[in-house]
Amino acid sequence: MQSTRIPATIISGFLGAGKTTLLRSLMEQSSHKKIAIIVNEFGSLGIDGDILKNCGVPGCTEDNIVELANGCICCTVADEFLPTMEALLDRKDPPEHIIIETSGLALPKPLIKAFNWPSIKTRMTVDGVVTLVDSPAVLAGQFADDPDAVAQQRAADQSLDHDNPLHEVFEDQLCSADLVILNKIDLVTSEQAEQLTKDIQKELPKAVKIIQVANGKIDPEIILGINAKAEDDLQSRPSHHDGEGEDHEHDDFTSFVVTIPTADNPETLVQKLIQVANTHDILRIKGYVNIANKPMRLEIHGVGQRFNYHFDRAWRADESRESKLIVIGETGIDQEAIQAALQ
């Protein structure tokens, strides 16, 4: 039996909160440390893993990044996550720390519970659960169908909006946290940031540090080394799905990949995406696009009607310059209409 367990940090946060950007920042500042990364995405197009593998940071190599793309990690613990962790532990030169970037729709608690599995319990511990919050999205009511109505209801009864699947996932992520990071704080006013902090504190079941950052920039010492041993502290991390067994599914959400034509320029493309996202109430769009007469690939991310993009790298000679976007929305979203609108 190992006398020292390898620490693992779980990075949670809703769709588009900036988890991959945060992870890249951590790796840039921790290149001296042997860190393994597990990336899980909701949807078959592996954007986040590809971003990390091509980021140019010494620690972000093929050998150190494992992608789990067969469903949300909280629902595939036994099939994918546990064998992956066992394989990392059994390496001749095992990592010093493991960082797990969960899907934006993953519930952290089933993942924390998995660390009590006999084959890894004595060899690994959950150092901390870090929940990232998209500050402007939450302030805009991203997790409520009618933000004004919910605000009025919550003034009288704090439990009335729990039937909203978006808010349930968001609350589960907050309730498992050892540290909450309000990201993209540069996109809100100081007054809004103060109000958001107060609102988040009301959601938390215990005293948890809340910090504010922009662009996912944070000192790794704040995130790595919390020493929470979260797997031994499950009772203080309530979930909407406690008592439902391990068969939780994400039936409320769906994702699909859309192949679109080469775009003339990024600005026109983004305007079209904003219009489509607004019309069809899309939660998240991200992917890679070929821009006419440009040698580089355009990486694009959208949350609601907020989009950002940049050219990430040159297209390789051995790859097709296909423009592919992954679209995530609530179940029932009109996939055919969205595909038609993006052609």
Q: Where residue 98 sits, what CATH number does that domain have?
A: 3.40.50.300
Amino acid present at 39: V
C-alpha span between 240 and 164 (Å, rounded): 11
> 156 and 282 in one domain?
no
> 206 and 270 in one domain?
no
For the packed helices 335-342 and 266-280, what is the interaxial angle rounded to 10 degrees? 160
Q: In what order do the strands lie in the sheet with 296-303?
A: 253-260, 323-330, 284-290, 296-303, 306-314
> 22 and 134 in one domain?
yes
Residue 243 domain-assigned? Answer: no
Residue 247 domain-assigned? Answer: no
pTM for the complete prediction? 0.73
- Give me the domain span that covers residue 206: 6-222
> 191 and 94 in one domain?
yes
pLDDT in tens, the chain (343 residues): 444 899 999 999 887 888 888 888 888 887 677 888 888 765 545 555 555 555 454 555 556 666 655 555 555 555 677 888 888 888 888 889 999 988 887 888 888 988 998 888 999 999 999 999 999 988 887 654 444 544 454 444 343 333 456 788 888 999 999 999 999 999 999 999 999 999 999 989 988 999 999 988 899 999 999 999 999 999 999 887 776 544 445 557 787 889 999 999 999 999 999 999 989 888 888 889 999 999 999 989 888 778 989 898 899 898 899 999 988 888 788 999 999 999 8
C-beta atoms surrounding 121 within 10 Å: 14
Cα separations (Å) of 117 from 6, 154, 239?
A: 15, 39, 20
- Which CATH number covers residue 264? 3.30.1220.10
Residue 31 domain-assigned? Answer: yes
Residue 260 domain-assigned? Answer: yes
Q: Which of 204, 222, 240 is the last residue of a domain?
A: 222
> 306 and 185 in one domain?
no
207 SS3 class: coil
Q: Which of 172, 207, 222 is the last residue of a domain?
A: 222
Q: Count of domains in the chain? A: 2
> 218 and 121 in one domain?
yes
